[in-house]
């Protein structure tokens, strides 16, 4: 099961939550993989939690991912259904998650995800705007990192810190981790994309990792969470829905399938080598 996607960018307001919740809804609609999805909210502010549960204010959820991480309840007991989409479940955040951020424990979520993965076709993890322990937990637990970033030149150089962290976690704790891609978001529709933006991103991540689709600013994308709906349910005909739909169908799912195929080929090649070595040992013993 390698469909665990961490949505990460330590810059605040870069479109992480918007992308995470619309990706979840899009995968339910457009992916061939079993149509169930779990969203794990690792941001103590709980914006994804509010939207999916249909509560903009009021008490935070009584049971949250924090209770699961501190092992007060089982992973299954932390999960709740959503008003957002009946096929999307949620492991909600609440503000007490902040106290986990003060610890050094960055491999707890991985164990939770392993326990829950057999029940879901996709697991999407939304993260807070920093590279602290909560984001690290997401990177240790995920197979793929998705990086939404605003198109402003200023937001881009800081992403080097993120690639350094991804490399470190890949080296030490999670060899499966791969970048699925960088999604440009929040673009002002009236101005052309600055030429240096794609170039700089290509230098940091590799040219092939930058998705071609750009999610422009769209009022419907901004309005949909307050109606507790995805952009597809809120207004499937609007520009924002068509941008997210095209990105998911034509780029995200294709890239995911390609990376999965490569992974399978690598595993098969490694297994063949192992078999060859084993046969060699038998032959030399004869
Ligand atoms: N394409 C878009 N068009 C218009 N508004 C958008 C778009 N994408 C995101 N927004 C709005 O921009 C704000 C920031 O987006 P979002 O909350 O997704 O970012 P974030 O990276 O999760 O922020 P944080 O780092 O604070 O968690 C939100 O108010 C959201 O509704
Ligand atoms: Mg957010």
Count how many domains the chain has: 1
Closest CA to 19 of 44, 39, 45: 39
Residue 60, CA distances (Å) to 57, 73, 95, 115 in order = 8, 17, 8, 25
- pTM here is 0.95
Which two three-digit tokens encode residue 85?
Answer: 């989409």
Which two three-digit tokens encode residue 268?
Answer: 């098969």
Closest CA to 63 of 78, 53, 75: 78
CA 101 to ligand 1 center in whole angstroms: 22
What pLDDT is recorded for position 86?
93
Verify whether ligand 1 is closer than 6 Å to residue 180 (CB atom): no
Which two three-digit tokens encode residue 65?
Answer: 């991912």
Query: Is residue 286 pLDDT above 70, yes or no?
Result: no
Element (H, E) at 91: strand 88-91
Query: Is residue 261 pLDDT above 60, yes or no?
Result: yes
Closest CA to 225 of 84, 79, 40: 84
Query: Is residue 1 pLDDT above 60, yes or no?
Result: no
Task: Please tell me which residue, 276 or 245, carries the higher pLDDT value.
Answer: 245
Closest CA to 240 of 8, 21, 6, 31: 21
What pLDDT is recorded for position 283?
75
Give percent of the chain with pLDDT exceeding 70.
Answer: 99
- Report the C-alpha gap between 154 and 147 in whole angstroms: 16
Best residue among 9, 10, 13, 243 to mutate for probing ligand 1, ranked by most atoms within 8 Å of CB: 13
Verify whether ligand 1 is closer than 6 Å to residue 185 (CB atom): yes
- Express each pLDDT in 223-244 by its tens digit: 999 999 999 999 999 999 999 9
**Domain containing residue 97: CATH number:** 3.40.50.300
What pLDDT is recorded for position 33?
79
- Express each pLDDT in 152-211 by its tens digit: 877 788 899 999 999 999 999 999 999 999 999 988 877 777 778 888 999 999 999 999
Mean pLDDT of 100-122: 94
- Work out the burial of residue 269: count CB atoms within 10 Å of its CB; fewer than 13 is exposed, 13-18 middle, 19 or more buried: exposed
Average pLDDT value for the chain: 93
Verify whether ligand 1 is closer than 6 Å to residue 222 (CB atom): yes
SS3 label, residue 58: coil
- Express each pLDDT in 12-61 by its tens digit: 999 999 999 999 999 999 998 777 999 999 999 999 999 999 988 778 88
Q: Which listed ligand is nearest to 13 at the C-alpha?
A: 1
What pLDDT is recorded for position 28?
95
**H-assigned helices in the chain:** 16-30, 47-53, 65-69, 75-78, 97-100, 108-116, 133-141, 159-172, 195-205, 219-223, 231-234, 239-246, 253-285
What pLDDT is recorded for position 158?
86
Query: Is residue 5 pLDDT above 90, yes or no?
Result: yes
CA 112 to ligand 1 center in whole angstroms: 27
Which of 2-6, 71-75, 89-93 comes out lowest in average pLDDT?
A: 2-6
- Full residue range of the structural domain in which residue 95 is found: 4-285
What pLDDT is recorded for position 2?
65
């Amino acid at each position: 099961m390698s469909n665990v996607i961490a949505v990460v960018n330590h810059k605040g307001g870069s479109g992480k939550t918007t992308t995470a919740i619309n990706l979840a809804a899009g995968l339910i609609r457009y992916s061939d993989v079993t149509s169930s999805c779990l969203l794990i909210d690792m941001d103590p502010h709980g914006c994804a939690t509010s939207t999916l549960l249909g509560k903009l204010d009021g008490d935070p959820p009584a049971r949250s991912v924090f209770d699961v991480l501190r092992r007060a309840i089982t992973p299954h007991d932390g999960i709740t259904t959503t008003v957002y989409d009946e096929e999307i479940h949620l492991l909600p955040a609440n503000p007490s998650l902040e106290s986990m951020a003060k610890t050094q424990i960055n491999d707890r979520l991985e164990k939770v995800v392993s326990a829950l993965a057999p029940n879901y076709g996709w697991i999407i993890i939304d993260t807070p705007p920093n590279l602290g322990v909560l984001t690290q937990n997401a990177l240790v637990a995920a197979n793929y990192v998705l990086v939404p970033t605003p198109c402003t030149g200023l937001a881009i150089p800081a992403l080097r810190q993120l690639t350094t962290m991804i490399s470190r976690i890949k080296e030490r704790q999670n060899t499966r981790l791969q970048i699925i891609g960088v999604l440009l978001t929040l673009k002002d529709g009236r101005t052309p994309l600055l030429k240096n933006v794609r170039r700089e991103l290509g230098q940091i991540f590799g040219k092939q990792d930058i998705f071609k689709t750009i999610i422009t600013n769209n009022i419907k994308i901004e309005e949909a969470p307050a109606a507790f709906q995805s952009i597809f349910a809120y207004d499937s005909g609007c520009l924002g829905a068509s941008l997210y739909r095209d990105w998911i169908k034509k780029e995200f799912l294709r890239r995911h399938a390609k990376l999965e195929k490569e992974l399978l080929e690598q595993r098969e090649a490694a297994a063949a080598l192992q078999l060859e070595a084993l046969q060699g040992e038998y032959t030399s013993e004869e």
